[in-house]
Chain A
Amino acid sequence: MNRNTSHINPLESEAIYIFREVAAQFERPVLLFSGGKDSITLVRLAQKAFWPAKIPFPLMHIDTGHNFAETIAFRDKLVADHGLELIVRKVQDSIDAGKVKEESGKYSSRNSLQTTTLLDAIEEFKFDACIGGARRDEEKARAKERIFSVRDDFGQWDEKSQRPELFDMLNGQIKLGQNVRVFPISNWTELDVWSYIEREKIEIPSIYFAHKRKVFLRDGLIWSHSDYVFQEEDEEVLERMVRFRTVGDISCTAAVLSEAADIESVVKEIRNSTLSERGARIDDKRSEAAMEKRKQQGYF
């Protein structure tokens, strides 16, 4: 089906503009890469922004260790195919160093532990700009996020003293020790990202497409059966045809029932979906203000 995707052109131009501003205004930028569709889209946009030169900054993956195997295989192939520079920093190392404590129990996840590893890596490499794939349509607190969002030495977000952003002008001036989080696809919706992946024929990990998986049901969500996910004895393992709408740590990403096995069917499914993307994020369900609290603490 040849759908009209021309409304993505201004969004693409905006993202490319933002990437070029980052390269020009900062000394040590880094692209935070999770292996999810949003950060994969960022890589394509960065390639477009600097072609025929290479992307002038590295990618960094904050690895919880609780990954979908498909995501890691995909990440390594992408890096090799495009000659990208990849830095990996592991949450396990932060745990071993005694900097964070592993959560325990039914809802334990390493998702929030990533923050410490991220902040340590920013300090280690002296990154002054961290580019991420967050979008304003994802969540209410993110709707107020700037494109250039200044964080203090502790990585904290102060939502009350954000810099106004007028016209296209991005102010990246910071003091030593501060850094900026940059969100080039702030104004994209989930459907925009999917339509773009379809239009540009961007490769994404196979778990975004329908596949058979061992799962169990809890609180109305479909959880992956995995060594990394705590499971009660009475929570029965089932085999279901599922796919993932967002991909994060395996312990905080729920699956959706789906038969959509290719990009065209996925776009169609998203178009007709009545559930929001983060509706399948277990980490957001903790409380209504979950995201805002994590952001204040330095989470992406």
Chain B
Amino acid sequence: MDVLKIATAGSVDDGKSTLIGRLLYDTKSLTTDKLEAIEKTSKQKGYDYLDLSLATDGLVAEREQGITIDVAHIYFSTAKKSFIIADTPGHVEYTRNMVTGASTSQAAIILIDARKGVIEQTSRHFFIANLLRVKEVVVAINKMDLVDFSEDRYNAIKADFEELMQKRDYEEQKITCIPVSALKGDNVVNTSEQTPWYHGPTLLEHLEALDMAAVSNSGTPRFPVQYVIRPKTKDFHDFRGFAGKVYGGILNVGDEVVALPSQTRSKIKAIYVYNQQCESAARRSSVTITLEDEINVSRGDMLVKANDLPRIEKEFTATISWMDQKQLQPGTTYVLQHGIRKVLAKVATIHHRIRPDYSGIDEGANALEMNDIAQVSFKLNKPIFCDAFKKHRTNGSFILIDSQSNNTVGAGFIQ
């Protein structure tokens, strides 16, 4: 059993909320009181069917306007897997939400309205799934009921999408197309009788069958030190534990490690999970590590294997996804948070904007607006210990914080 995080993307009216509602409904994840609320509201609106999109549209403003305005998280599980869906809105102006949702996801569902086919929005959604290196992409070709479950229509859309796939820079990404009707429930959880020409799995079957090891991006172990534990009690007088989460690989007792930035070497003496000693620390597990030697390590430092160092950078170029109303301008200094390490970063150069639909780049950008994606160079006051985003999803990413408003204003992916 494991937890699969999925980001969803679709344009307005593609039926994304309905699809999620359908997944919940057909897996019997909706409780009777929630179902009653949906039945009641559907009736009030005068529908002769259940408006399953009501299962997810959370905020009052959204229900009034009938749109999704922020990332919502939805939970359900089957006998085979637990799922967390990050429901992100599909409007043009909400690129930042999809980037946010995709950053924690191993899979993405991109919705296409079978009547409209592959549109500009589809390439944008696919572009973001590529940029964020989401390993598993499911293309749900929805509203098949409105095109008479036509095989030809499905194949034409699939061919268009395959053309789009040629443009991506991410060979390992896996793509699966599935013909569905979220409204009627075809091929979402249950196999449709309307699509005898389709022999693949339903959406849920496909998601359940995903191998969790294969969809996770692995790399080399990086251990950012979050907190130093010094109990100074009688029993643990000399205990000095480095608390943190292991990213990218596994660390073992006895491993030869280097502490950054001091570059001091030592060996892992013990690994604790609570009061239990373990031989190794798995990827993404929170542990406490003690070292053989008394070396100076504090929050924001990083332990890495001695034979596998990251880059130590004070100047670098990254792809930036800008998320703030206030523009990003060259010369401005932001707080750059790389994992848990905070440094100051000055914008050196904006090289070019990248059109988020594979149509090319725009040279000569003087500033970045909200939802822009661009190549930007930075100069830091102190180094960070990083990898290229393509090699290491966690250690290759950072956020930018506006030092006046304290808001998170952008995300960066190191080249």
- Cα A159 to Cα B397 in complex, Å, equals 26
Q: Contact partner of A143 among B58, B103, B288, CB < 8 A?
A: B58
- Contacts A167-B103, A171-B408, A288-B37; A13 near B286 (Cβ below 8 A): yes
- Cβ-based interface call for A164 (8 A): yes
CB pair B37–A144 under 8 Å, yes or no, is no
On chain A, the residues within 8 Å of B275 by CB distance are 51-52
- Cα A4 to Cα B77 in complex, Å, equals 13
On chain A, the residues within 8 Å of B31 by CB distance are 273-276, 279
- Cα A223 to Cα B337 in complex, Å, equals 49
- Cβ-based interface call for B299 (8 A): yes
- Cβ-based interface call for A140 (8 A): yes
CB pair A141–B99 under 8 Å, yes or no, is no
On chain B, the residues within 8 Å of A173 by CB distance are 335, 401, 406
- Per-residue 0/1 for A128-169: is the Cβ within 8 Å of any B Cβ (1 yes, 0 no)? 000000001100110110000010000000011111111111
- Cβ-based interface call for B148 (8 A): no
- Cβ-based interface call for A187 (8 A): yes
CB pair A166–B103 under 8 Å, yes or no, is yes
Q: Could you say which interface size class chain A belongs to?
A: 35 or more
Q: Contact partner of A159 among B1, B70, B96, CB < 8 A?
A: B70
CB pair A171–B337 under 8 Å, yes or no, is yes
CB pair A7–B2 under 8 Å, yes or no, is yes
Count of chain A to chain B residue pairs whose CB atoms are closer than 8 Å in the complex:
167
- Cβ-based interface call for A1 (8 A): no
Q: Contact partner of A7 among B70, B82, B229, B299, CB < 8 A?
A: B82
CB pair B3–A11 under 8 Å, yes or no, is yes
Nearest 5 A-B pairs (CB), nearest first? Answer: A140-B58, A279-B33, A16-B286, A276-B31, A53-B231
CB pair B394–A164 under 8 Å, yes or no, is no
Closest chain A residue, CB of each to CB of B324: A164
- Cβ-based interface call for B215 (8 A): no
On chain A, the residues within 8 Å of B288 by CB distance are 51
- Cβ-based interface call for B358 (8 A): no
**20 A-B contact pairs sorted by A residue (CB < 8 Å):** A4-B1, A14-B286, A20-B244, A137-B73, A137-B74, A140-B57, A143-B72, A143-B74, A163-B407, A165-B100, A166-B104, A167-B103, A167-B104, A168-B394, A169-B337, A169-B340, A169-B397, A171-B401, A173-B401, A275-B33
CB pair B274–A48 under 8 Å, yes or no, is yes
8 A Cβ contacts from B94-124 to A: 96-97, 99-100, 103-104
- Cβ-based interface call for B399 (8 A): yes
Closest chain A residue, CB of each to CB of B33: A279
On chain B, the residues within 8 Å of A276 by CB distance are 31, 33-34
Most buried by A among B226, B284, B394: B226
On chain A, the residues within 8 Å of B399 by CB distance are 166, 169, 171
CB pair B285–A166 under 8 Å, yes or no, is no
- Cβ-based interface call for B316 (8 A): no
Q: Contact partner of A171 among B34, B236, B272, B406, CB < 8 A?
A: B406
Q: Contact partner of A164 among B72, B96, B406, CB < 8 A?
A: B96
Write the nearest CB–CB distance from B299 to chain A, whole angstroms. 6
